[in-house]
Chain A
Amino acid sequence: MADAALQGRDEHETTTGLPHTKLAMWLFLSSECLLFGALITTYVLYRGASTKGPFPADIFDIGYTSVSSFVLLASSLTMVLSLGAAQKRDFMRMRLWLVTTALLGMTFVGGQVYEFTAFYREGLAITTNLFGTTFFVLTGFHGVHVTVGILMLLSLTGMSFADRLPEDPAFPVEMVGLYWHFVDIVWIIIFTVVYLIPTGPVGK
Chain B
Amino acid sequence: MSDIHAGSSDAEVHGQSAHAGHPGAREYVRIFFILAAITSIEVAIYYVREDMGGWFLPALFSLMIAKFAIVVLWYMHLKFDDRRFSRFFVMGLAGAATLYLVVLISLRVFLD
Q: Which A residues form the contact surface with B (CB < 8 A)?
A: 1, 4, 9-23, 26-27, 29-34, 37-38, 40-41, 44-45, 62, 66, 69-70, 73-74, 76-77, 79-81, 84, 87, 166, 168, 170-171, 174, 177-178, 181-182, 184-185, 188-189, 191-193, 196-198
Contacting residues, chain A, for B71 (C-beta < 8 A):
76, 181, 184-185, 188
- Residue in B10, B63, B93 whose CB lies within 8 Å of A20: B10
Q: Once the chains are docked, how many angstroms separate the CA of A18 from the CA of B46?
A: 43
Contacting residues, chain A, for B77 (C-beta < 8 A):
174
Is B52 at the interface (CB under 8 A from chain A)? Answer: no
Q: Is the CB–CB distance between A197 and B104 below 8 Å?
A: no
- Residue in A13, A29, A73, A188 whose CB lies within 8 Å of B32: A73
Interface size class of B (residues with CB under 8 A): 35 or more
Question: With contacts A21-B10, A192-B60, A196-B42 known, is A84 near B28, CB below 8 A?
Answer: yes
- Residue in A19, A41, A178, A185 whose CB lies within 8 Å of B11: A19
Contacting residues, chain B, for A188 (C-beta < 8 A):
64, 67-68, 71
Contacting residues, chain A, for B14 (C-beta < 8 A):
19, 22, 168, 170-171, 174
Contacting residues, chain A, for B107 (C-beta < 8 A):
45
Q: Is the CB–CB distance between A17 and B1 below 8 Å?
A: yes
Q: Is the CB–CB distance between A189 and B64 below 8 Å?
A: yes
- Residue in B2, B10, B32, B89 whose CB lies within 8 Å of A12: B10
Q: Is the CB–CB distance between B22 and A168 below 8 Å?
A: no
Q: Once the chains are docked, how many angstroms separate the CA of A84 from the CA of B23?
A: 9
Q: Is the CB–CB distance between A192 and B103 below 8 Å?
A: no
Q: Is the CB–CB distance between B10 and A11 below 8 Å?
A: yes
Q: Is the CB–CB distance between B99 and A37 below 8 Å?
A: yes
Q: Is the CB–CB distance between B28 and A80 below 8 Å?
A: yes
Question: With contacts A41-B104, A73-B35, A189-B68 known, is A87 near B88, CB below 8 A?
Answer: no
B32-49 with Cβ < 8 A to chain A:
32, 35-36, 39, 42-43, 45-47, 49
B63-112 with Cβ < 8 A to chain A:
63-64, 67-68, 71-72, 75-77, 82, 84-85, 88-89, 91-93, 95-97, 99-100, 103-104, 107, 109
Q: Is the CB–CB distance between B22 and A26 below 8 Å?
A: no
Which residue from chain A places its CB closest to the CB of B56 in the assembled complex? A197
Q: Is the CB–CB distance between A14 and B10 below 8 Å?
A: yes
Contacting residues, chain B, for A80 (C-beta < 8 A):
28, 75
Contacting residues, chain A, for B49 (C-beta < 8 A):
198
